[in-house]
Amino acid sequence: MKKYIITVLGQDRTYPCYEGQRLLHAIEGAGGDCIRVGCREGGCGVCRVKIHSGEYETGIMSKAHIGEEEKKQGLVLSCRVYPKGDLTVEPAPKYKNRQE
Ligand code: FES
């Protein structure tokens, strides 16, 4: 099984993520608490992160929490992200350009 390395900006450690594992679960499973956890189902929006680099796929994410423009900027709901390579991410509970 492939193993990827997740780097969280501002943290002095990395997190392993196995192929098919969701980003949020990988960080939580390794004891990380740098991302807020809510529904774990792509509906509440609290687990939002910005992906700075790396390949990934996403499952269904609530459009109320991640718009098309945000998605293009790398904003995602971490409970719906499947890394496909090493990633560098930034927790983004309230990202700057977002209207709320
Ligand atoms: S935890 Fe609710 S959207 Fe990810």
Q: Does the beta carbon of 49 sit less than 6 angstroms from any atom of ligand 1? A: no
94, exposed or middle or buried, with CB in 10 Å at 0-12, 13-18, 19+? exposed
pLDDT tens for 15-41 read: 999 999 999 999 999 999 889 999 999
- Rounded to the nearest integer, the mean pLDDT of the chain is 90
Q: Look at residue 92 in the predicted model and tell me its pLDDT.
A: 80
Domain extents for the chain?
3-91
Q: Which of 25, 35, 58, 79 to mutate to test the pocket of ligand 1 (most atoms within 8 A of CB)?
A: 79
Maximum distance among all Cα pairs of the chain, rounded to whole angstroms: 40
One DSSP character per residue, 9-66 reads TT-S-EEEEETT--HHHHHHHTT--SS--S-SSSSS-TTEEEEEES-EEE----TTTS
pLDDT tens for 61-75 read: 989 999 999 999 999
Q: Does the beta carbon of 25 sit less than 6 angstroms from any atom of ligand 1? A: no
pTM for this prediction: 0.89
CATH superfamily, with its number, for domain 3-91: Beta-grasp domain (3.10.20.30)
Q: Look at residue 100 in the predicted model and tell me its pLDDT.
A: 45
Of 15, 37, 39, 10, the closest CA to residue 27 belongs to 15
- From atom 3 of ligand 1, which residue's Cα is the shortest distance away? 42
